[in-house]
Structure 1
Amino acid sequence: PTLSFGVVGSSDVLLLLHGFPTSSYDWYKIWDSLTQRFNRVIALDFLGFGFSHKPRPHRYSIFEQASVVEALVAHLGLSEQRINILSHDYGDTVALELLYRSDHNRSGHITINSLCLSNGGIFPETHYPRFLQKVLKDSGFISPVFTRLINFRLFSRGIRDVFGPYTQPTEAEFWDMWTGIRFNDGNLVMDSILQYINQRLKHRERWVGTLTSTSAPLHMIYGPLDPVNPHPEFIQLYQKLVQRSTVSVLDEHVSHYPQLEDPTGFFNAYLSFINSF
């Protein structure tokens, strides 16, 4: 099928990459706006998240998630297309691996038209994982015990901490997030998925390196009240290291989930980036 193009100079395919521990549902507040702006908008649940398969035991990795994305793009017949990526949190790191493969012309890579990151712990040195994340990631053989103890109350308390005081999820939204996690016993694979925090440290050179060397248009949308990537140290380091990127810092009360906390501000920031190149 032929694809019609929107604004001259910008490709019309958008790929959305969600964060941990949630799913593509994170994009629902800006979905309609995005589908009006782009011809194709693609959102997936990563392996181990949302309504995707959650194999266990399994060694989850950022590399595998990137390969899943490449396979999906090929499956949709979009391999020849230039793709805009909009990512959040964990998705930021998957996006950086996709960018690395694209910039190094690896076989099967997707062609990236632009990349917009948001609130991802891409620098290990300014990343502060939540207590529960640390416990699950580093407890070795006792981790499976902890994953079975995660209940709705514990989960919603953890999520509440990474939303701003005026932009808390509704009870219904908490349940929607929790449902995505509980589907196929997703809580039982969390300890394995969380190894991505260690992977970021191990492969920092590769992923931060590609961010500093790429020629693709780059943008960062940042909710500054984020306890995981605190202000101002995170954004100062980003601006220092990634000088080619533009940055949108949202209102001071917006935290780790900007697309849910301030969908209008988030979408407008993204739109002005997309219209800028």
Structure 2
Amino acid sequence: MFKDIGMDTISLAGPLHAKLRAMREAGFTQVMLAAKDLVGHPDGWQAAVEEVRGSGLRVTGFQVLRDFEGLSGHLHDYKVDIARSMIEMCAALRSPVLLACSSTSVHASDDRAHIARDLRKLAMMALPFGIRVAYEGLSWGRHLNDVPGAWDVVQRADAPNLGLGIDSYHSFATQTPLEALHGVDAAKIFLVQLSDFMWQEVRTVEERIDTARHFRVFPGEGVHSEAIVRLVRLLDGMGYRGDYSFEVFNDDYQQLPLATVAQRAQRSATWLAADVLRRALPLPGRAPLRP
């Protein structure tokens, strides 16, 4: 069983209950959920919550609050209202983490003090529910698109339950050097999402978005395996002991049987645990992938 490596529902096709079963049968003990998993349920979002609880899977986190920070006036009020609803669903799932990504809005301010103030407000909204907010630098974010920028505003906000979400795809897409993590407090990294892709670089913002949303693969399947090894081992050496979630958007996987995709994730998790983190294999006899 994989104790701190989980799958995201976005990698699988089909209804929520079937996705949860496929993950569990592949040896996963946790799941990363999106708001559409809940609101798209035919019996309502509360029924989806009950399915998740009944699955026995631990919830890694809940995503994703977009374009929250840097707004003013009625736009800010609107996003605060949206955030309240997201926090309500996150709390119902007993999710420890709400993921928020950096804004792409043309209406958002680039003033980092303003951004930090809004993120602190979001964190304070989540605090009574015991929810931590993981802020991620989206690689096509309008003003913040990498780990250094996200870490800067997290520090400025200075909220106990506000930290970083790190996504390997976004770091590779922006070619953010690993050295950027050296000044980050590992205790303030709340979530690490991993994926790979099949080409060495993405040259335009459009290609970056298209690759992110349609062509990611599981760690160990793409051409950035060595970079994933370096990233994960650095995080482990820094003292990160949180969860790793496979954030894999892939149109091909949406056309394959659930078990087939879950088995690919299983091989990736085995490689990550045994070859990268050098732990005992959770599923003996499975051949690990090689970087």
Q: TM-score, normalised by structure 2?
A: 0.34
TM-score by length of 1: 0.35
Higher relative contact order (CA 8 A, sep 6+): 1
